[in-house]
Structure 1
C-alpha cells in the first residue's frame, strides 16, 4: 500500500510539471493500463518465484503511476474548462453571489473571494475581486461593511488569471488554479452595488463567518499589540496581519512553521480533546460499558481536529495531520495495528485525491518531509534513551533532513533553528496556541492578554538570535539533482546506530551547499528584464559584477517589487551584493522597490536622477552619485556608458521627470543593448543630436513601455535593433504598448517581445548574435495563459 501511494503521488507530480496536458490518446492508454496492469499483477501474484514477484511490483507501480498521472490531468481539464472568455475581459458585468472568504484589508480597499451565483455573462463560479476606496488619483472614500457569507449584487470588471513569471519566482497563476479561482478583477463604482442578504446559510459560509468574527475579536482585544497578527494566525489561520519584518525574523530563526497551523498544533488540540473526553467517558458507567473510553476519546479527538482544521483555513499541514489522525482513529476502532509509514502514505494519497495541485506547494514538501523524518528516527528506537535525548535527536533530524528542500524552495536555511525551536516549540505549542484557541472559544480578555504576553516572552531570545550575522545560510537555488543526492545523504546519515559509514551521508551534502550557478565569461553579459507588471527592473550580470537598473513598482505601503520579486530573484541567482544600483527617475513603477533593495542587499554605489531629498538618495548617502551623460566604466571586458541625461546647466529649471531618466548602454562581445527607461520624444531627439548613428543597438528595451509619446520614427531608424523588449503589465491601465508604436517597431524589422506575454526576458550578450529566452518558455506549465 505504501509503495502504491508513493508512486501514485509521483504520477500526479509528473502531470503537474508538464508543459501541456496529455492528449486524449495518451489518457486513453493510461486508463487501459490501470486495470490491465492490476489484472496482470494479480496473475503474477499467483505464480511463485522472485521473478514473478518483481514483475508484480513493476506492473502495480505502472498502474499506480498511470492512475496518478491521468487523475491529475482529468482534474486539470475540468478546472481549466471553467474559464473567463477573452471577449469578457475588461468589460463591466453585473454579478450576484456570496462573499466566500475572509475579506482582507489592504492599503486602498478590500479583497475577497466571490462565489458567483448569477451573472450577465458566462463567468467562472469562483472569482477574486478587490473593492477599492478610490481609483488612480481619486480621493479615497469609505467602503460599505463587507462580511463573509453575505450575498451581494456587484458590477465588476474581470480578467483571466495572470501573474508575473520570473526565474525561481512565485507562480501566482498556478496558485490561483489550485484555489479554483478562474478570474480576478475589481468592483466598479455603481449605484447597483447592493447587499441582498446579510447571511447565506451553508456550512462553509458559517465557517468563514465564524473565522471573521474570531479575527475581529482578536483585533478588538489587542488593537495595538505587535503580535496580535500571530495569535490570529494560530487561531484561524489568517497570516496576512503579520508584518513583513516579523516574517523575516521567523525565516532567519527557522520558526515560521510554528506560526502556521502546523501538524503539531492540530495533534496537540486533538490530544487534549481526546484526553478530556476519555477521562469523562470512563466516569460514566453506561457509556464506558457501551463503548470503550479509548475509542470514544480518539474519535472525539478526530472530530475536534476536523473542526479546528476548518476554522484554521484547511492548509496542507493541517490536512495531512487530520488524515493521519483519521487513519489512527479508524485503526483503533477496528482494532487493527498501523505502521507509521503506511499512515503517512495513506494521508499523502488522500491529500492529493482532494487537491492534486498540493504537490506544487512548499508546505506540502516541508510538512510530509518533516513527519517522514520523525518516523525515520523514532521507529525501532529504545524507549530508555530519555526524553531529552529523544527531543534533541528529532530536532537534529528535522533540521538536517529539510536542508535540501529549504535550499530548493527558499534558498536559505537557519543555522540557529535548533536553538530557536527548542525555545519556541514548547511555549508556542503548549502555552500560546492553547490560550489563543481558548480565547477564540471563550472571549475573556485575560486569555488574549496571557497569550500575547507568552508570545512576547518567546520572541525575546528569538529576536536576539535573528540579529546574529551568521543566523542563516543563503545561497543560489541548487539544481534538483543535487537536492535529491543530498536528501539521500541526509536519510543515510540519520539511520540507526550500527549502520555502516553513516558519515558518508553527510559528505553528500557538500556539493549542495557549495554549488554556485555559472556566470557569464569574460567579455559576456547576461541581461534579465524581469516581469514586474507595469514597471521596469533589469539585472545585468558580468563575470564578477552585478548591476540593477530600476526596481519596479511599489504596490502598497507594505508591498513592493523590490521585496517580492527582486530580492528573492537575486538570492536564487546567487547574488550576494550589487556593485551598482541605477534608479533612473522617481516614477513609482521604476523606483518603488529601491528602498527595499537597499535594505535587503549590500550595494556599493547608487546612480540616480532623483531629487536630492528623495528617500533613496538619503539612504544611499555617500554611495550616491547622479547619472550624467558621458559616464562610463568597464567590468570584465563589458563596457557601460551613460547616455542621458546631460548635466543640467547652472540655475536650469528641472525638466519633466521622464526626460531626466538615466539611459544606459551595455556592450559585450561586439553586441549592444540599450536601456532607455521612460524617455520620451524630447529626450530621444537629444540623444539623436548627440549620438546619431552611434545609437545603433542589437537589443533595446522600448522607451516608456511603448508609450505613444516615445519611439519616434527617427529614433527607431537610428537604433534599428534586432530585438525590442516591452516591459508591460497584463491589461495595464495605460494600454501600453500603444498599437501605433508596436506597429512602427514591427515595420522596422525588429523582433518584438513583451513581459506580460513571455514573462522575464533573458538576453545573452557575447560573441555572435544575441540569444534571447523567456521565463515562460524555459519552464512552461499547462496552465499558463489559460
Structure 2
C-alpha cells in the first residue's frame, strides 16, 4: 500500500515541478537506478532485494514522468517561428464550427515550410488553428437575444478575433489540406481557479496555435493522399446525423456526443442545465459508456458462446467469448468516440480488470484499482491534475465500497438509492472544490437518467454504429429510436430547468485542500462497514467543516486578472468586493467572465459584489457582464457610456460615473473622478470618443494610491491632470488603453510618476500593446512595469509587516509547462 502510494506521489511531485531537470541530471538519476539494480542482483537478502527493487522502480517512474514532460515540451513551436507566415501540410483531426462561422482545426502536421519554400525540420506534430468564414460578427455581442439598440450591439460587438475573414467552405475532419498559417507558442490565461489551457495543450500534444491566412495570395488546397479514412467516416456520420435530425439541435448534439464523443453542438443554456443537474458525465464518453459497451459485448459473446457450447460442450467457451467480445466492443466504441483522455482512462481500467480476470487468482479489487490508476499515470502523467481523473477514480472507489454488500428484495433498492446519493455527495464535494455549483435534484436526476441512457439510448447507438459500417440506410431506424429517446430525455430536462435553478447549491465558500482531504476521510468512514463510533466521528468531521468560520477579513487587495486583450480587475477589502470591467467575449459560448472572472470570485468565496464598474461598452471590457450579473448579487453598477441602454440590460440601478462621487469599500476609499459638467459631459468634445468616456477610479488606503483610468486617451488625460486629487504621484497605475500609443502621454507619466504600472494586454496581440515608446516612457520615469501576458494575473497586497508587494501568478505558481 505504501509503495503504491509513493509511486502515485512521484507523479504528483513531478507535475508540480517549476522546472524539469536537464538531460544530464536526468541521466545521472537513471544511472543511480541502474546501480541500485546491480546491487539488487548481488544481494542475498530477500528483504534487501525487495527494498532496492522498489526504490529503483520509484526512481524509474519519476524519471519517466520527467522524460514525458521534456519530450512534450520539445514538440512546441520554436520561438523564432512565431508570427511568421508558414505553410503546413497535414490531416485535420478535429473540425469544430461555432454559430459565428468560426472554425477550429486540430491538424496532424506532415510537413511544414517557410515562406521561401524551405522545409522546417523541428516542427510540432500537432497544431490548433482557427479560420473565420463569415464577416458578420454582430451576433457576438454580449446582448445577443436582448432588445437593445443596434448602436449598443455594435459597440459591444467589437472583438479582436485574431483571424482573417473568408467565405471558404468549411473543412472536414479526416481531410488532408495545405494551409498558410501564422502560429504562436502555446499560451493561455494564468489566474487562480481558472482552467490551465497551456497544461491542456501540453497533455494533448498540441505544440502551437494560431490562425489560417485566407487572403488570395495564401491559397489553401486539398491533399487527398493525406486523407484519413476513419476520421472521414466519423465526420460523415456526424454530418448525416445533423442533416437528418435537424429539428432539435440540442437533441442531435447529444446524439453525436454519445456516438462520436463530439460535444461542440450544445449551446450555453443547454450546457448549464446539464451541469446544474450533475449530468455532464453522461455526455462524455468515459467509464460509464465504455463499461456499458463492454457489458453489451459480453452479453453478445455469452450468447454466441452458448450456441458454440451446444455443439461442443466446453464449460468455459461462453465465459471466454463474453470476455473477448466485451473487450473488443468496448475498444471499438472508444476508438469511434475519438479516444479522448477520459476514454483512454476507461479503456485502461477495463483492460486491467480483464487482465485481473485472466490471472485466475483472487486478488483484491483495490489492487486492480491502484494499478489502473498507475497505468493511467504512466500513459498520461499530467492526468493527476485533471478533474476528470479524480471524478473517475473516486466514483469507482465509491461503487466498490458500497456494491460489495449483498442485498435482496427491498434492501437491493435501498442499496441503489444509497449508492446514488453518496456518489452524488462525493462528486458534489469535488465540484465545490473546483468552484462549480450543483442542484439538489442531482441525485434524483442521475437515478433516472443513468439507467434511461444506459438501457435505452447507448445500446441503440452501439447497434447503429455497427450497422452504419454496413449500410447507412439500414441504421436509420436505430438512429431514429435513439433520437426519440433523447427527445424524451430533453423534454424531462426542460421540465426540471426552473427547479434546477431554484434548488441550486452554490459553492458555500472556498474549500481548502485540507478540508477536501478531511471530507474524503469522513465519507470513507461513512461508507466503510465499520462501527457506529466511526460513523459518528465522520459526521462530526463533516459538521465541523460545514460550520467552520469563514476566512478572516480580507486585507486591502487588488488583482488585475489575465483575460488576454481586455480588462478585469478585482478590488477587495474585508468582506466587500468591487469589480472593474469583466474581460472580453470571444464567442457566443466563451467569455472571460465565464472562464476567468467567475471562477476567481467563486474561489475567493464571493457571492455578492458591492460595486460593478463598466468603464465603457467595448467588448474587451464588457464581454462577461451578463455572466457576472446573473451569477452574483451586484448591489450597484457604475457606467459612463450608453447608460440608458445599459439600464435595459442590467436594471434601473445603473449609475453614471461621470458624476464626481466617493464611497467606502472596506478599508479602501474610492473616488470616482467624473467631469465638472456631470450628466452634461457629453457636450464636451473630449467625450465624443467612447474611450474617453471611461470610468476613472482613484483608490486610497493609508497613503497607498491606485488609479484605474480605463481606456482614456491623451485629451482626457490632460483634463484629468488638472483634477485636485491627481496632483501627487500614485503608487499603482493601470496603463490607459492597454499601453496604446494614443495614451500615456509624457505629461501624464511625469505627473503621476507611478511606482508600479500594469499593462493588461494579450499575448502577441495584433495591436502590439504595450507599444515600445509607451513602455520606455514609464521605465525612464523609474516605474516598474508588469504585463499580464507575461506574468499572468497581477496581485498587489500587503505583507504581515504592512509593506506593499506585487507579484505575478506565473512566478508565484510556476509550473514547468508555463
**TM-score if structure 1 supplies the norm length?**
0.92
SS in structure 2 of the partner of residue 12 of structure 1:
helix
1:109 paired to 2:102 = yes
Which runs of structure 2 are paired with 1:477-492 in the superposition (5 Å)? 477-492=510-525
Counterpart selection for 1:548 from 565, 579, 604: 579
Decide whether aligned partners of structure 1 residues 394 and 328 sit closer, same or farther in structure 2, where only a CA change above 3 A counts.
same
**Does the 8 Å CA contact 2:758/2:786 hold for their aligned counterparts?**
yes
TM-align CA RMSD: 2.8
Any residues of structure 2 matched to 1:531-546 within 5 Å, and which?
531-546=562-577
Q: After superposition, where does 1:388-537 map in structure 2 within 5 Å?
A: 388-440=413-465, 441=468, 442-444=475-477, 446-460=480-494, 462-469=496-503, 471-498=504-531, 500-514=533-547, 518=551, 524-537=555-568
Partner of 2:674: 644
2:201 aligns to what? 176
**Shift in CA distance, 230/686, structure 1 to aligned 2, threshold 3 Å:** same
Q: Deviations over 1:293-348 (max 9, x none)?
A: 21012111101100111122323443333223223333444544443212222222
Note the C-alpha offset of 1:86: 1.5
Give the corresponding residue for 1:776.
Answer: 810
What is the match of residue 7 of structure 2? 8
Residues 1:218 and 2:241 aligned together: yes
Deviation at 1:589, TM superposition (A): 0.7
Find the counterpart in structure 1 of residue 18 from structure 2: 19
Cα distance change of structure 1 residues 474 and 42 upon mapping to structure 2, 3 Å threshold:
farther
Aligned equivalent of 1:208: 231
Shift of 1:35: 5.1
Alignment match of 1:360 (pick from 385, 398, 419): 385
The 3-state SS of whatever aligns with 2:587 is coil
User: Tell me, which stretches of 5 or more residues in structure 2 are unaligned?
Assistant: 115-119, 136-159, 469-474
Which one is further off, 446-455 or 599-608?
Answer: 446-455
1:581-603: per-residue Cα shift (whole Å, max 9, x none)? 10011111112211221122111
State which drifts further: 297-306 or 97-106.
Answer: 97-106
Q: Is 1:88 paired with 2:95?
A: no
Task: Report if the CA contact (8 A) 1:427-1:458 is conserved.
Answer: no
Q: Secondary structure at the match of 2:95?
A: coil
1:79-478 to structure 2, matched below 5 A, reads: 79-105=72-98, 107-121=100-114, 122=120, 123-133=123-133, 141-191=166-216, 192-198=218-224, 200=226, 205-225=228-248, 226-284=250-308, 285=310, 289=314, 292-333=317-358, 335-379=360-404, 381=406, 386-440=411-465, 441=468, 442-444=475-477, 446-460=480-494, 462-469=496-503, 471-478=504-511
Kept in 2: contact 1:420–1:465 (CA 8 A): no
Deviation, structure 1 residue 287: 6.9
Contact in 1 for aligned 2:176/2:226 (Cα 8 Å): yes
Could you say what secondary structure the match of 1:82 adopts?
Answer: coil
Q: Would you say 1:602 and 2:633 are equivalent positions?
A: yes
> Unaligned 5+ residue runs, structure 1?
none
Query: 1 CA distance for matches of 2:565 and 2:673?
Result: 24
**Does 443-452 or 426-435 show the bigger shift?**
443-452
Structure 1 residue 118: Cα displacement: 1.4
Which residue of structure 2 aligns with residue 577 of structure 1?
Answer: 608
Which residue number in structure 1 is paired with residue 660 of structure 2? 630
In the alignment, the residues of structure 2 paired with residue 562 and residue 392 of structure 1 have an alpha-carbon distance, to the nearest angstrom, of 37
- Partners of 2:243 and 2:719 in 1: how far apart? 59
CA distance in 1, matches of 2:14, 2:164: 48
Deviations 1:446-500 (A, max 9, x none): 324323223124425543541324x324133322222122212211221114364
- Pairing 1:745–2:744 present: no
Assess if the C-alpha contact under 8 Å between 1:423 and 1:458 holds in 2: no
Q: CA deviation at 1:289?
A: 4.9
Decide whether the 8 Å contact of 2:437 with 2:505 is kept in 1: yes
Using the alignment, how far apart are the partners of 2:451 and 2:572 within structure 1? 46
CA change 1:199–1:7 in 2 (3 A) is: farther
User: 2:138 is matched with which residue?
Assistant: none
Deviation at 1:247, TM superposition (A): 2.3
Q: In structure 2, which of residues 43, 58, 65 is the aligned counterpart of residue 65 of structure 1?
A: 58
| Deviation string, structure 1 residues 219-271 (Cα, Å, up to 9, x no partner) | 12321313322222111111121222222222222222122113122111211
Judge conservation of contact 1:644–1:687 (CA < 8 Å) in 2: no
**Equivalent residues of 1:552, 1:591 under 8 A apart:** yes
Where 2:617 maps in the other structure, the secondary structure is coil
Q: For structure 1, which segment, 305-314 or 506-515, has the greater mean C-alpha deviation from structure 2 after superposition? A: 506-515
User: Secondary structure of 2:188's partner?
Assistant: coil
- For residue 140 of structure 2, what is the aligned residue in structure 1? none
Query: How far apart are the structure 1 equivalents of 2:38 and 2:164?
Result: 70
Q: Provide the secondary structure at the position in 2 that maps to 1:283.
A: helix
**C-alpha contact 2:440 2:500 (8 A) present in aligned 1:** no
* Contact 2:383–2:389 under 8 Å retained in 1: yes
1:287, 1:327 → 2: CA distance?
Answer: 30
- Pair 1:73–1:235, CA change in 2 (3 A): same
Aligned equivalents of 2:95 and 2:451: distance in 1? 30
Moved more, 371-380 or 584-593: 371-380
2:143 is aligned to none
CA distance in 2, matches of 1:70, 1:657: 56
**In 1, Cα distance between the equivalents of 2:340 and 2:510?**
25
Distance 2:700 2:630 in 1: 30
Instruction: Tell me the CA shift for residue 656 of structure 1.
Output: 0.5
SS at the partner of 2:767?
coil
The more displaced of 138-147 and 251-260 is: 138-147
Which whole-Å CA distance do the structure 2 matches of 1:78 and 1:378 have between them?
Answer: 42
Give me the whole-angstrom Cα distance separating, in 2, the residues matched to 1:339 and 1:68. Answer: 23
Provide the TM-score with structure 2 as the length reference: 0.88
Deviation (angstroms), 1:67? 2.8
- Match among 739, 746, 753 for residue 706 of structure 1: 739
Q: Is the 8 A contact 2:668 2:701 kept in 1?
A: yes
Asked whether 1:736 is paired with 2:769, we answer yes
Aligned length: 770
Deviates more, 1:18-27 or 1:482-491: 18-27
Return the match for 2:713 from 680, 683, 695: 680
Q: How has the CA–CA distance of structure 1 residues 505 and 435 changed in structure 2, closer, same or farther, with 3 Å as cutoff?
A: same
Contact 2:253 2:266 in 1 (8 A): yes
CA contact (8 A) 1:681 1:709 kept: yes
1:8 to partner: Cα distance: 2.3
Distance, in Å, in 1 between the alignment partners of 2:32 and 2:528 is 37
Query: 1: distance between equivalents of 2:606 and 2:620?
Result: 23
Residues 760 and 651 (structure 1 numbering): CA distance in 2 closer, same or farther, change over 3 Å? closer
Shift of 1:24: 4.5
Indicate the larger mover: 187-196 or 656-665. 187-196
Distance 2:681 2:603 in 1: 45
Please state whether the residue corresponding to 1:532 is helix, strand or coil. Answer: coil
Structure 1's 517 and 13: CA in aligned 2 closer, same or farther, altered over 3 A? farther
Distance in 2 (alpha carbons) for counterparts of 1:495 and 1:44: 41
Q: Residue 39 of structure 1: CA displacement?
A: 7.0
CA contact (8 A) 1:112 1:129 kept: yes
Q: How far apart, in 2, do the equivalents of 1:45 and 1:264 lie?
A: 48
